[in-house]
Amino acid sequence: GGVALMLSPENTIAFAKAGMLAADGRCKTFDAAADGYVRGEGCGMVVLKRLRDAERDGDTILAVIRGSMINHDGPSSGLTVPRGPSQQAVLRQALQGADIDPTAVSYIEAHGTGTALGDPIELGALRAVFRKRTAPLWVGSVKTNIGHLEAAAGIASFIKTVLALHHRQLPAHLHFDQPNPYIEWDQ
């Protein structure tokens, strides 16, 4: 689980002064007008249980986690600049650890903060790892819907993805009007 609350204005002020926040308060992930992220508050919690135990107990199973992976970006140009090679490495390790062929993946819930530089780097890493696909790879970011929940961003993305799988429908990706020209969309 995760919780994000803005209990004082100091971080918002600092992020605004650093030019990290979207001027209009809208997260425009993957859009040409992406100009920063939007802070959000929220919390989320999930219950994890071994599959065999959930099946034995007759629990409702919304998703099965086949694997997970975490790494550190390593040296980068700054807090808002992800490092593509590190993202590629963690994606490849996660797919290998879960024994999933990249061509079998149809949706990625991206970090997608809505920054002009970060979004193209993130999608570039996805392009490198999933380049052998022939079918489209759907990509979204919950941040366009609820903002960046910071400490709760991961759980918010996880819950969105589980609910999308359960309902067999992807939620709308908001504030996307003009594709970011630095993203190779045909790739």
pLDDT number for residue 72: 85
CB-CB contact of 148 with 117 (8 Å): no
Q: Is 185 left (phi over 0), alpha (psi -120 to 50) or beta?
A: alpha
Structure tokens at 132: 């052998």
> Would you say how long the chain is, in residues?
187
Tens-digit pLDDT profile for residues 13-72: 999 999 999 999 999 999 999 999 999 999 999 999 999 999 999 999 999 999 999 988
Tens-digit pLDDT profile for residues 148-160: 999 999 999 999 9
Tens-digit pLDDT profile for residues 66-92: 999 998 888 877 777 889 999 999 999
